[in-house]
Amino acid sequence: MNPKETILNVANLKKTSRIPVSLLSGGIWTFNNRGLSLQDALKLGAENCSEIITETNERFCSDIVWVSSGYHNLAIRAIGGKIKFRAKGSPDVQETLLKSASDADKIDVSLLKNDIDINTLWKTTELVARNVGEKNLVGASQWGPFTLAGLIYGVENLMRNIYRDKQAVHRVLEFTTELCYQYLEPYIEAGAGIVSVADPTSSGDMISREQFREFSLPYLSKVIKKLRDKGAIGFIHICGNITNRLDLIPETGASIISLDYKVPLSKAKEILRGKMAFAGNMNPVGVMQNLKANEVSEICSRCIEEAGTESSYILMPGCDIPPGVPIENIKAMVNTAHNYNLGV
């Protein structure tokens, strides 16, 4: 069973011949390890970017090869927002794009197609899929609707209007749902077989369970359905503690939920087993960056045991890894999954 088949099996709640293992995103790490910022990488063009991504993955063998991670805010720039690239890390959104919810009606989402850098990423995906698509699942990612709403409408406005003007919030969320989909759909056309919708503003650290049910869940479900209808596996990542809403996540229609280190894998197993696959939850800094390879291996083994070998579980960091993670630690994670005795 090759890496692609392994992920496809786990996404469909079928048995695998070994523990699936993958990075979550890893774009910043990949390019920073070549001495490149994300902006530098784009200047190299799609062919060079695809070669770097492919060659890097050959060094540690992630089952999923992520292409567009770190570049989510390019979508906001493409529709008129202002962003600023950093030497390390993802570009930051500089200011609120929507002054009022009605401003969303004036924005043409098709402007995404005019952005040179986004086109580079779509082309990079096509080339990576051509290089490794037979054996690996190629992935793409974007912020989820609620997080995009916070970025373009302002988190303060969003949170205030959850109480004061629900209609305005829903109006913005309809727009950001379409923005998320229109950004990700060309990746699927280019060969991405799995798409990650990352919605950190939907976590229990930001909104209540009932607010999640009313303002995030319907829009996550809508965008996941549209992406699945295009043939991709739906994958969701929500940072922070989402233990009190885990039972709602299968309603999104996603096949896999990626969990932060704040969510106990034993609880995920209890709630999600037989309903959807789950992934996580090593601390990307506290474990993946700061510990030695043998310690990473030990914690990875514990994660597998806590999740249960009978579960549909993917060994994965609990979020995107920072640039300082040693490759030895990534290899330790991958090797632990590959060598874990399933007893079959």
**Residue 155 included in any domain:** yes
Residues 6 or more apart whose CB falls under 8 angstroms from that of 55 comprise: none
Domain count, the chain: 1
Q: Which of 185, 290, 276 is nearest to 227 (CA)?
A: 185
pLDDT of residue 219: 98
**Is there a contact between 54 and 65 (Cβ–Cβ < 8 Å)?**
yes
pLDDT of residue 342: 82
**Residue 47 included in any domain:** yes
Q: Which of 225, 219, 251, 224 is nearest to 236 (CA)?
A: 224
b/e code 261-282 from CB counts within 10 Å (16+ = b): bbbebeebbebbbeebbbbbbb
**Residue 240 included in any domain:** yes
**Residue 344 included in any domain:** no
> What does DSSP say about strands 137-143 and 194-198: parallel, antiparallel, or unpaired?
parallel
pLDDT of residue 88: 86
Copy the structure tokens of residue 103. Answer: 């401003």
pLDDT of residue 343: 65
Q: What is the CATH number of the domain that holds 90?
A: 3.20.20.210
**Residue 93 included in any domain:** yes
**Residue 178 included in any domain:** yes
CA distances from 266 to 21, 33, 81, 319 (A): 18, 34, 41, 18
| Residue at 158: amino acid letter | L
pTM: 0.96
Q: What is the 3-state secondary structure (H, E, C) of the chain?
A: CCHHHHHHHHHCCCCCCCCCECCCCCHHHHHHCCCCCHHHHHHHCHHHHHHHHHHHHHHHCCCEEECCCCCCCHHHHHCCCCEECCCCCCCEECCCCCCCHHHHHHCCHHHHHHCHHHHHHHHHHHHHHHHHCCCCEEEEEEECHHHHHHHHHCHHHHHHHHHHCHHHHHHHHHHHHHHHHHHHHHHHHHCCCEEEEECHHHCCCCCCHHHHHHHHHHHHHHHHHHHHHCCCEEEEEECCCCHHHHHHHHHHCCCEEEECCCCCHHHHHHHHCCCCEEEEEECCCCCCCCCCHHHHHHHHHHHHHHHCCCCCEEEEECCCCCCCCCHHHHHHHHHHHHHCCCCC
**Residue 59 included in any domain:** yes
**Is there a contact between 181 and 227 (Cβ–Cβ < 8 Å)?**
yes
Residue 259, strand partner residues: 238
Q: Which domain holds residue 32?
A: 3-339
Rounded CA-CA distance 276/263 in Å is 16
Give the burial class of 120: count Cβ atoms within 10 A of its Cβ; 0-12 exposed, 13-18 middle, 19 or more buried.
buried
pLDDT of residue 135: 95
Q: Average pLDDT per run of 10 along the chain, which is 344 residues long? A: 95 95 92 94 97 94 94 98 92 95 96 98 97 96 98 96 97 98 98 98 95 98 98 97 97 98 96 96 95 97 94 94 94 96 71
Rounded CA-CA distance 232/188 in Å is 7
**Residue 109 included in any domain:** yes
**Is there a contact between 328 and 294 (Cβ–Cβ < 8 Å)?**
no
pLDDT of residue 25: 86
Instruction: Provide the terminal-to-terminal Cα distance of the chain, rounded to the nearest Å.
Output: 15
pLDDT of residue 306: 96
